[in-house]
Amino acid sequence: MKRTAILLVMPLLSTLTGCASIGRIETPGEKASAYGYVPLDPLPVDQASGADSCTETSGGGNVTANADVLSRLPDQTIRFAVATFDQTKGSLTFGPATLTSKGGQYKAVLDYIQADAVPEIFYIRKRVTVPGQTQSVPVALSDPLPMGGKIIGYDAVISNSTGMQAALQSVAPAEVALARSRFLEAEAEKFAEGHYQQVTVPVYVGIGLRLSADILSLQGGLTLAGLSAIGAEAEAKRVTGTLTVQSLGVSGKSIATALPLPSKLDQTTIENAILAIGNMRATLYATGQGTNDLYKQPRIVGLYSPVGSDPLLINALYSELSRIRPRWLVPCGAAGQGKS
């Protein structure tokens, strides 16, 4: 068993360190918009059986058995994100890797996740202060700021999925798509009166493992393009920091004993953390069905914001996701089947 685990760990180690050594290749969307994957602290979701292709849908509840979770999550990915810490605002902004400034603080996050993307509809508006006015004013997301205006926050509201489901119950199957479209149009018109704009945000629901590095740059002009680059800069005493490993939606004795303690940032601790992730990944797939040693519960692990990664905006989205659990429609079919 140990030999099998080692064989599973080595490809992951080669993948992570190899990709990091050549830098992260940005997707076309990231190059065009400078927005990308934003990792989040895990949040719960509501699960319901059925998908758009299913003819019958049962009520809510956690319907996915522990042993079936992996078969219900169709996508596997390794994502790397870097955030810059704004000391004046006390916030982190995720975006493409940039050159460091001396004394700058950064956070690098590598996620290994198996997930499903849930398209969540939000209604978002900006809150803006204007010179001469004592209260903030709402401004539509795509509208320009008033003269001298400054964004102080965002309001985000999740679409009323419960109301939509109730409205669709009496609709014939052939008319569901049209009825859903009309419901969203009416909802968008209502929110537009309050300067809200409809935005679809892909929310990633799944399980996985996360490696986080909190970094203090001791020198300017450094590129935090990957784990190998960060480790090399730490060895050269150009950056310092700490390294942590976290499980996402996975718990149990086998995971708890494999999690390394937070440690000082250097090349050795990065390699050890990657090995720990590899061992936990091997455990995740090697553990037999029905075991009580490993528990898998899909969680919100990240999102992709098509309207920017302003910390105020991400905080508003996160707050709303924590207030109202998004509904994850579990792919229907027998255990072991994924989406068609």
Query: Distances from the Cα of 316 to the Cαs of 103, 122, 125, 126, 255, in angstroms?
Result: 28, 11, 10, 10, 32
pLDDT at 160: 86
Share of the chain above pLDDT 70, in %: 78
Is pLDDT larger for residue 88 or for residue 229?
229
Say which range, 125-134, 275-284, 299-308, has the weakest mean pLDDT: 275-284
pLDDT greater than 70 at residue 14: no
Task: Evaluate whether 27 touches 293 at the Cβ level (below 8 Å).
Answer: no
Contacts of 130 (CB under 8 A, 6+ apart): 137, 146, 147, 148, 149
**Can you tell me the mean pLDDT for 248-274?**
86
pLDDT greater than 60 at residue 91: yes
Separation CA 298–CA 68 (nearest Å)? 11
pTM reported for the whole predicted model: 0.80
Return the closest-CA partner of residue 71 out of 286, 303, 331: 331
Is pLDDT larger for residue 171 or for residue 67?
171
Return the closest-CA partner of residue 270 out of 214, 211, 210: 211
pLDDT at 64: 54
Q: Is 221 helix (H, G, I), strand (E, B) or coil?
A: coil
Separation CA 280–CA 8 (nearest Å)? 10
- Identify residue 142 by its one-letter amino acid code: S
pLDDT at 1: 43
294-327 b/e with 16+ CB inside 10 Å = b?
bebbbbbbbbbbebebbbbbbebbbebbeeeebb
pLDDT greater than 50 at residue 190: yes
pLDDT greater than 90 at residue 116: yes
pLDDT at 97: 61
Q: How far apart are the first and last CA of the chain?
A: 34
pLDDT greater than 50 at residue 13: no
Structure tokens at 52: 């758009």
pLDDT at 37: 86
pLDDT greater than 70 at residue 339: no
Written in H, E and C, the secondary structure of 66-113 is HHHHHHHCCEEEEEEEEEEEECCCCEEEEECCCECCCCCEEEEEEEEE
**Can you tell me the mean pLDDT for 255-273?**
85
Task: Evaluate whether 53 touches 333 at the Cβ level (below 8 Å).
Answer: no
pLDDT band at 18 (very low <50, low <70, confident <90, very high): very low
Task: Evaluate whether 301 touches 205 at the Cβ level (below 8 Å).
Answer: yes
Query: Distances from the Cα of 240 to the Cαs of 50, 111, 226, 265, in angstroms?
Result: 48, 21, 15, 6
Say which range, 52-66, 90-104, 231-245, 312-326, has the weakest mean pLDDT: 52-66
Token pair 């419901």 is at which residue?
183
pLDDT band at 159 (very low <50, low <70, confident <90, very high): very high
